[in-house]
Amino acid sequence: MDRADDKRIGEIVSRRIKLFKRKPEAAIYKPKVSSRHIYGLYTETAVREHVVKADYAEAAGGTNKAPNPIELLLAALAACIESAFYEFAMHEGIKIDSIIAEVEGELDLRGLFMVDDNVPAGFRQIRYILRIESPDDPERVKELASRVISHCPVVDSLQRPVQIGGDIIVTEVKNENR
């Protein structure tokens, strides 16, 4: 990216902040995805005009064609932290030479495999390292990074109880070969 793109990102953030202060209803965002089974443990999820692929390692029964869903969750967290930090750095005029977000999770697979109902199926812990190279004041950069991470929607969604619900629709298919 060049300086014009950085300036444009900062301007977009400024415009959005002003709009959302003036019209809070304009801040409501409802992303939607649709995932479908392709074969085995491989799936493809439509996200706007993009396709996100998921699969499992061969040792887990997959074909290792893509990250598994829990790895994609970590990827979403890393991407959210990194990109949100970058956009707000541009908004606040902080120069960034490099950003790398590393995220690692730990889970006990006994929860997923229903071996022990007392073991959660999800992560026990998630840790990140955000590596930032900048010529600006390190304390200013770190303070912004802390503020951004505390407002990252993926971080918030993982830390706070979020209502998850839906419907299960089963269509019986008549198979004459049974």
Q: What Cα–Cα distance (Å) separates residue 144 from each residue in 7, 19, 79, 82, 89?
A: 18, 22, 17, 12, 7
Distance CA(123)–CA(169), nearest Å, equals: 28
CATH code: domain 68-159 is 3.30.300.20
At residue 142, the 3 state secondary structure works out as helix
| Residue 40 structure tokens | 């085995």
| Residue 151 structure tokens | 């407002």
pTM across the whole model: 0.88
Host H or E run for residue 117: none
Per-position pLDDT tens, the chain of length 178: 467 788 899 999 999 999 999 999 999 999 999 999 999 999 999 999 999 999 999 999 999 999 999 999 999 999 999 999 999 999 999 999 999 999 999 999 999 999 999 999 999 999 999 999 999 999 999 999 999 999 999 999 999 999 999 999 999 998 876 5
Distance CA(44)–CA(53), nearest Å, equals: 5
